[in-house]
Amino acid sequence: MGTSTNGRRRILHLLAAGGLLLGLAATMTGGLASCSADKPAVEKSRPLNKGELERLAGMRARNFADGRVGLRGTIGPGSKQTKVDGWVDWKRQLVYLSVAGTGAGAGTLLIQATPGVVAMRPGALPAPAASGPAPESARESAAPAASPAAATSAAAAAVPAGKPPLIAPEDGWRVRPLQLGGDEERPIDNLVAFLFLLAKQEADPTGPLGELRNEWVRRDTFDGAPVDVLLGPALLPQTAPSAAPSSSGMSSTSAVPSAVASAGVSASAATAPRTEATTVPSPTAPAASPGAQASPGAGASAGADEPTKASASPSPAPDPKSLEANGGAVGYWLDAKGSLVRLETVLGDGLPSVLDLQRGQQQEFVRTMALGGRDNKPTEITKAEAKVLSQLRQRNLKARGGAVTVTMPVNPGVLRTGKGWLDWQKQLAYLAVRDQDDESYDVLMHADRTGIAIRKPGKRVPEQPPLPAPTGKWERAEWVVLGSSGEITDLDYLIYEALSLAANVPDDAAHIAKHGRRLRVDVLGKVPVGVFELPSAVETNVPAGQARMRYWVDNSGVLKRLELRTATGGFAQLDLDLKDKPPALPAKVK
């Protein structure tokens, strides 16, 4: 399916409230870029005729039908220009870009984004792996007979120069909610929000669209083919809501932990405010106000949660029929079939943008695990799978435990990683957790069946937690107390859930079969696994794929990965290596 209705409306509302797509003023039509070798003859702009209006109205439907296209262009003036290259996949609601230039900060970024959420990976790309996961179409099952190495090699050869690798690197991703801004602070956020508006399953109605002051600017050429350059609205009048849509799906706040729900610790993993609080944005719920995380720029609205700021502008309201009143004017370059090949707009103050859509570039790429990994294909859990899952905690207990690795995105755009051990038989977990940007946030973490304790050394912790555990400066809180508090972090939640997944009695297979879902078959460390959802009592009405926890289980019926939807909108993972048995862990810390 394409962009969900609620997700689309959320982006529409944010853009409309903030006026972030400033558009191209109709008086600047002569300044639209030309692809012609010779300067085109000067023609006077005019209103659209019937055929041109129908092509503009059908543009978004054609984009959706094509599904995925290449994207290349620039944002900002020449002196501060950001170059982008990659793809937009409208059917999967996914943008994947390589971003370089002073406008994006030092160095190069990889960007993946879904409606409302952005994942960023700064720094150099890792060397191509000898083997790895195949793109989506090559991985319909996790059968060992598939050749990931061959698929990876073929995929790498198919990537045009300048585009990001089809198989995204697994490490280094930071995730945060989309933050729209009116200046140079958030050009990529503004871009990806706009890209998601460019496709829908049905053609736009020509009636409301035709009432606006659209213009035909000129004839031009693009890659040697004739095109018409039209000025049209960024937002359609009938789709922009007057108020933010209400939440649907998941509950936005955590409840008191149940027998299998998770809790957290009041002693923060750092001395700063707990930006990783338990409020988890649903993919179909309105994004939290970006202003609560970072200032989007002087004079810009913080988003849908601050309508008073947007309405406090001293400027008079624009004519409802003007392009300015509908998100601003955008220059749409349409070929004879009505396919969009180039667009020009202004994504914020001082951010003129020219973007080419490469309709022949439809390479399939893989979603990063930070945004949930490969596509889900939810199915009901079979009786055989329900029986295996009902015995999961028994098998985990028998397996004892092993080494754990945690990858945890934290707001605003922070990455924390942890290593240590989990011992199911003794109900203990002991980890060293590092903040990849600021070592003052590093902690040692010790958890048992009754509570959790952390120790803040104020400096970089070792890669593995020290044995024996250091004494002094530990801050402990009991799970039963934390369950009713608001001081629960995503990391606390993940550790509690991991500890709870061992018991000497089976769970209710009938209940699992009725309420659980198998999301997909995948591969983890070359081992086939099933990825399952087992919704909690408060998630009974949550759509498939939207529950907070995911369980990766191998063919032996043992947990290999525990996955958590975090407050960033992205996913955290706790991976288990059961071959690396835990040492004697401290029963208590002082």
Average of pLDDT values for 339-357?
A: 91
Domain-located, residue 27: yes
Average of pLDDT values for 186-211?
A: 92
pLDDT at 306: 36
553: confidence class by pLDDT, cuts 50, 70, 90: very high
Average of pLDDT values for 442-468?
A: 97
Helices (H), strands (E): how many in the chain?
Answer: 11, 23
Domain-located, residue 10: yes
Distance CA 113, CA 118 (A): 4
Domain-located, residue 13: yes
How high is the mean pLDDT of the chain?
79
pLDDT at 181 over 80: no
Domain-located, residue 112: yes
Residue 132 corresponds to which tokens in the numbers above?
């790895």
Average of pLDDT values for 499-525?
A: 96
- Looking at residue 418, which CATH number applies to its domain? 2.50.20
pLDDT at 50 over 60: yes
pLDDT at 116: 93
Q: Residues of 153-162 as b/e, b for ≥16 C-beta within 10 angstroms?
A: eebeeeeeee
Q: Are residues 338 and 378 in the same domain?
A: no
Average of pLDDT values for 8-27?
A: 45
Supply the range of the domain harboring residue 522: 370-577
Q: Residues of 463-487 as b/e, b for ≥16 C-beta within 10 angstroms?
A: eebeeebeeeebebbebeebbeeeb
pLDDT at 136 over 80: no
545: confidence class by pLDDT, cuts 50, 70, 90: very high
pLDDT at 63 over 90: yes
To the question of pTM greater than 0.85 for the whole model, the response is: no
Domain-located, residue 243: no
pLDDT at 356: 97
Q: Are residues 118 and 202 in the same domain?
A: yes
Q: Are residues 198 and 97 in the same domain?
A: yes
Q: What are phi and psi of 219, to 5 degrees?
A: -90, 145
546's CB contacts (< 8 A; 6+ apart) are 249, 250, 282, 283, 284, 565
Q: What 3-state DSSP class applies to 46?
A: strand
Condensed to tens digits (0 to 9), the pLDDT of residues 410-420 reads 999 999 999 99
pLDDT at 134: 45
How, if at all, do strands 414-423 and 428-435 pair?
Answer: antiparallel
Distance CA 181, CA 525 (A): 40
pLDDT at 159: 73
Q: Are residues 102 and 165 in the same domain?
A: yes
Residue of 325, 341, 291 whose CA lies nearest to 177: 291
pLDDT at 186: 74
Amino acid, single-letter form, for residue 419: K
Q: Are residues 303 and 162 in the same domain?
A: yes
pLDDT at 184: 56
pLDDT at 24: 52
pLDDT at 468 over 80: yes
pLDDT at 126: 62
Q: Are residues 399 and 467 in the same domain?
A: yes
Q: Residues of 524-538 as b/e, b for ≥16 C-beta within 10 angstroms?
A: beeeebbbbbbbbee
Q: Are residues 348 and 455 in the same domain?
A: no
pLDDT at 303: 31
pLDDT more than 70, % of the chain: 72
pLDDT at 146 over 50: no
Q: Are residues 457 and 342 in the same domain?
A: no
pLDDT at 475 over 80: yes
pLDDT at 574 over 50: yes
pLDDT at 474 over 80: yes
351: confidence class by pLDDT, cuts 50, 70, 90: confident
**Total structural domains within the chain:** 2
Domain-located, residue 98: yes
Average of pLDDT values for 224-245?
A: 74
pLDDT at 128: 52
Average of pLDDT values for 319-344?
A: 93
Condensed to tens digits (0 to 9), the pLDDT of residues 248-267 reads 333 333 332 332 222 222 22
CB atoms within 10 A of CB 126: 11
* Exposed / middle / buried, residue 349 (Cβ in 10 Å: 0-12, 13-18, 19+): middle
97's CB contacts (< 8 A; 6+ apart) are 71, 84, 85, 86, 87, 110, 111, 112, 164, 188, 192
Q: Are residues 412 and 482 in the same domain?
A: yes
Cis peptide before 412 (omega within 30 of 0): yes
Domain-located, residue 265: no
Q: Are residues 23 and 108 in the same domain?
A: yes
When mean pLDDT is compared over 17-21, 103-107, 148-152, the highest value belongs to 103-107
Condensed to tens digits (0 to 9), the pLDDT of residues 275-298 reads 333 333 333 333 333 233 332 232
pLDDT at 485: 83
pLDDT at 208 over 90: yes
CB 259 within 8 A of CB 497: no
Which of 310-324, 471-485, 508-522 shows the lowest mean pLDDT across its residues?
310-324
State the helix-helix crossing angle for 392-399 and 383-390, rounded to 10 degrees. Answer: 40
Q: Are residues 289 and 420 in the same domain?
A: no
Condensed to tens digits (0 to 9), the pLDDT of residues 555-566 reads 999 999 999 999
Domain-located, residue 242: no
CB 388 within 8 A of CB 553: yes
Q: Are residues 448 and 545 in the same domain?
A: yes
pLDDT at 150: 44
pLDDT at 28 over 90: no
CB 313 within 8 A of CB 299: no
